[in-house]
Structure formats: C-alpha cells, structure tokens
Amino acid sequence: MQPVPARAGDPLDTIETPALCVDLDAFERNLDRMADATQGMRLRPHAKSHKCPDIARAQIARGAVGVCCQKTDEAAAFVAAGVRDVLVTNEVVAPRKIARLAALARDATIGVLVDSTDVVPVLSEAARAIGVTLDVYIEIDVGAHRCGVAPGAPAAGLARAVVAAPGLRFRGLQAYQGAAQHLRTPEERHAAIATAAEHARATRAAIVAAGIACDIVTGAGTGTYRLEQSSGAYDELQPGSYVFMDVDYGRNTLAADDVRFDQSLFVLSAVMSAPAPERVVVDAGLKAFSFDAGLPIVHGWPGLEYRKATDEHGILAVAGGASPPRLGEHVWLVPGHCDPTVNLYDWIVAFRGDTVEAVWPITARGALG
C-alpha cells in the first residue's frame, strides 16, 4: 500500500501528485440525485466503480439496499468493512472462490449469478457445507452478448435447477445490458433497453409459469437506469459510475428528462518538465489512468490538452496564446474511464472547496480474485 497523498485539513495545493481526488460537493450531489431519481425502486449501486467502503456507506445511508461487486475478493472487502448485503454480479466458477464466497454469507446476505447448471451443485455444496444460504440470480443475455443464458425457456430450466438445490435461494434475474451504457444517443439506448426489458419480462413470465417465484429483476447502469426504471420490468438498479462520472460518459447525449451527474473524480497531476513553449509534461501517465476509453482531459485550464502518455509521463500541448502551468504547478485531469482508473490507486483524496476533508482507502483495489 502506498503512502497517503494528503491528510484531512490539508489545503489542496499541498496534495502529493499524482493523486486520485473526489470533489465532495459534486459527489454528494450525484448521490442525492440518484437517490431521488430512483425513489420507489431498490437501488444497489455497483461498488466496482469505487471499491471504497466509505463510499458504499454513503450510498447505503441514502437508501441503497446494499452494493454490487464484480469479484469474490471485492465482495470480501466490503463485507469485512461492514456492508451487510452484497450481490456479486458475475459468475463464480472456481470451487475455492465459491467456498470463499459462501463463507461471506455467514456475515452478510450474499448473492451470485449463474448461467450454467454445471455450477449449481458446487454452489449448493459449498453453502450446505457451512450451513449458509446463497442468493442466486440467473443471468440472462439481454443483448450485450457477454455472459448469460438465453432468455425464456433456458433461463426457466436453470431456475428449476437452482430451486431444487439445497443451500441456494433463487432470487430472480440479472438482466444487465452493459453494451447499452455508452450508446451515444438516447434513441439508441432506448431501443436497446426496450429489448432488454422485453427479454426480462418474458423470462420472468416463463419462470412464474413454471411455478417459481421470481422476485427481483436487477440490472442497469449509469447510462440507462432511467430506461430500466420506466420499463416496469426491473425491480432493482445497479448504476456505479454516477458517483464519479468520466470523459466517456460525458460523450453520451442525454435525453431532456435524464438526470445530469457532475464530474466529481479527478487525477491531480503536477508539471515535472516544461521543456518548450508548446509543451509541458505532467507526472500522470499510463500508470495513473486507464486509457481503454481514450485520453484524460484537462480540467479548468483553457488551451491545455492532454495529448499523449508514456508510463509515468503525460504530455500536454499548450495552445498558442495560452498561459501554461509552471514547473511544479498542479493540473487537474478528468479520467477517460473511471472504474479501471480508480483501481490504480490506494487512496481517494476527498476534498471540499480548497481543503482536504478525508482520505479514503480504496480497500478493494486490485481485488481480481
């Protein structure tokens, strides 16, 4: 674990760079707006975005039923931190991982996805062996073509296997359309979620027709949660990135009635070299950002553009006439993709105005297992 880049009470200009920072005013507005927007639904925010128990607690304090995680070890970090309801929105297959997952159910409600009958007896045996119950959701492929069984009859068949397995409690369906989150126009997103909702509805009907209760259809992300909500097919929403936002989400065109979330996440960098009038170099490169969704952008410095990264360097172009930052000066950058960028840091510096208010550990950083 790396040293903390700041301490509560520090002025912003003393934060050690590069540092992952969150603007608490924007962050809290985002949490409040999502809580308001999802009134009447179960909100289970995705903790893969932040990996930070302090943030999970802030979400739960505003009414979230618990969190989603993506990996067993991520779930373990949140349960250890006191979160009492975690859904792993992923298939867990390896018997040792399943055993770890089942052990978490001693202290918390733990859900997990299945999309294959092969795993059902392994989950069942792991739960029975230690006398716990695991909640199981069947993942259906609602159009993203990643994991998931086909909607309708195949899902109903799998539900039957889960219901018959001791130690497992069939809870419902995971119907997440990941590929829809970054479709750029409201029309494209609307069409994708209309299809997803239709699959979810038909699958629930098939399961109920088989005499099995299907209580919870869960899914949705920051890009589409309003559509899942208004579809009537979903009971629970899983947005994650809304707490932070990023350059890539900023590229989505919003519909008139979409809630706007503010950019709260930044990487604070500093100029380490100012070798030419048209170029400065900051200390945040390929190890300070995930570049899968493109380059970071410079925040609040007109005429300055992040052009290229190497491992530990960010090369910024200075437009003609712009006044560049001096050697050592701070430059605020907005990550291209928040989730995998957060995963590069051990700490989030939470600030309000000009002052650091807290430094939160990113407890589940690197939790791949």
Segment lying near a copy of itself (by CB under 8 A), choices 27-35, 244-252, 258-266, 342-350? 342-350
Among residues 59 and 70, whose Cβ is nearest to a copy of itself? Answer: 70
Cα–Cα distance measured from residue 78 to residue 103, given in angstroms and rounded to the nearest whole number: 13
Segment lying near a copy of itself (by CB under 8 A), choices 16-24, 30-38, 59-67, 196-204? 16-24
Q: How far apart are the first and last CA of the chain?
A: 18
Angular region, 34: left φ>0, alpha ψ -120 to 50, beta rest: alpha
Q: Does 271 bind a copy of itself (CB under 8 A)?
A: yes
Which three-class secondary structure state does DSSP give residue 122? helix
Query: Both tokens of residue 44?
Result: 């289970």
Among 129, 327, 353, 355, binds a copy of itself (CB under 8 A): 327
Integer CA distances (angstroms), 110 to 58, 123, 132, 135, 140, in order: 20, 12, 10, 6, 19
| Stretch 37-66 residues interacting with a copy of itself (CB under 8 A) | 48
| Stretch 86-125 residues interacting with a copy of itself (CB under 8 A) | 90-94, 96-97, 115-116, 118-119
Q: Does 145 bind a copy of itself (CB under 8 A)?
A: yes
Among residues 225 and 289, whose Cβ is nearest to a copy of itself? Answer: 289
H or E, element range at 69 = strand 67-69
Query: Both tokens of residue 257?
Result: 């009635």
Q: In this structure, how many other beta carbons lie within 10 angstroms of the beta carbon of residue 246?
A: 26
Question: Which residue in this structure is represented by tokens 């068949």?
Answer: 157
Residues 6+ positions from 205 with CB-CB distance below 8 Å = none
x-marked contacts with a copy of itself along 158-197 as a string, rule CB under 8 A? --------------------x-------------------
Angle (CA) 81-12-26 rounded to 5° is 60
x-marked contacts with a copy of itself along 221-250 as a string, rule CB under 8 A? ------------------------------
Question: Which residues lie near a copy of itself (CB under 8 A)?
Answer: 1-3, 5, 16-18, 48, 70-71, 73, 90-94, 96-97, 115-116, 118-119, 141, 145-149, 178, 270-276, 279, 281, 283-284, 286-288, 290-292, 309-313, 315, 327-328, 337, 339-340, 343-346, 365-369
